[in-house]
Amino acid sequence: MNDSPAPDPRAPNEGAVPNAPAVERALAERFAAARDERAFRELYRLHTPRIYRIASRLLGDPSGAEDVVQETWIRAAQGLPGFRWEARLSTWLAGIAINRCRETLRERRRGVSPGSETSLGRGPSEGEKIDLERAVNALPNGYREVLVLHDVHGYTHEQIAALLGIEVGTSKSQLSRARRTVRETLRGIVKGDRT
């Protein structure tokens, strides 16, 4: 019935990773060929958590991240028939999400003042975590993107360079500067500059 078998959730992890791209491709091709809603829902289920985590970290705003997820999938549905499989589907989707985050941040700069409400204030016992989130959110966009993609989501510098359209050396230097800036910010907070 299906072009390819669905992965068995009880199967050992080492067998799941190599089959993932083949399963994704089959689902994507089914969607592209016939607008198969079940195939699209499965792709959505597989990739939305990662897209949301990336958007949430880059924006520092859960509701904004939800908007980015929706816009990412709208754009992906439009572009999927032309996807050439030169990269992993997850990398392509992350690129769409990152671009939409950039657009959102530009829109905010034009119309909404920085420092609007975020979820950072939840849970008073989360002080150190909140300080880290604030330090990361205060980074310039390029630094924040590289830091989040590398340290949080595990992308390599080569993948980051391809996603962001920068050189590998730029990715490495921005990561170094981002880490140094976050350390300095956190040191300032520890010394009593907490806002």
pLDDT tens, residue by residue, 141-187? 888 889 888 888 888 889 898 888 899 999 999 998 988 888 887 77
Residue 129 binned pLDDT confidence (cut-offs 50, 70, 90): low
pLDDT of residue 121: 36
Taking 60 as the threshold, does the pLDDT of residue 126 lie above it? no
Residues 36/48, Cβ–Cβ less than 8 Å = no
Q: What is the pLDDT of residues 38-97, one digit of tens each?
A: 999 999 999 999 999 999 989 988 889 999 999 999 999 988 888 888 888 999 999 999
Task: Report the pLDDT value the prediction gives residue 192, as an integer from 0 to 100.
Answer: 60
Structural Rg of the chain based on CA atoms = 19
pLDDT tens-digit map of 115-125 = 333 333 333 33
Give alpha helix (H) positions in 8-166: 13-34, 37-59, 62-79, 89-111, 127-137, 141-147, 157-164
pLDDT given at position 81: 87
Query: Is the per-residue pLDDT at 13 higher than 80?
Result: no
DSSP 165: T
Q: Is pLDDT above 90 for 11?
A: no
Amino acid occupying residue 169: G
pLDDT at residue 19, as a whole number: 59
Q: Please tell me which residue, 31 or 13, carries the higher pLDDT value.
A: 31
Please check the confidence at residue 128 and state whether its pLDDT lies above 70: no
Domains of the chain, first to last: 1-117 (1.10.1740.10), 122-195 (1.10.10.10)
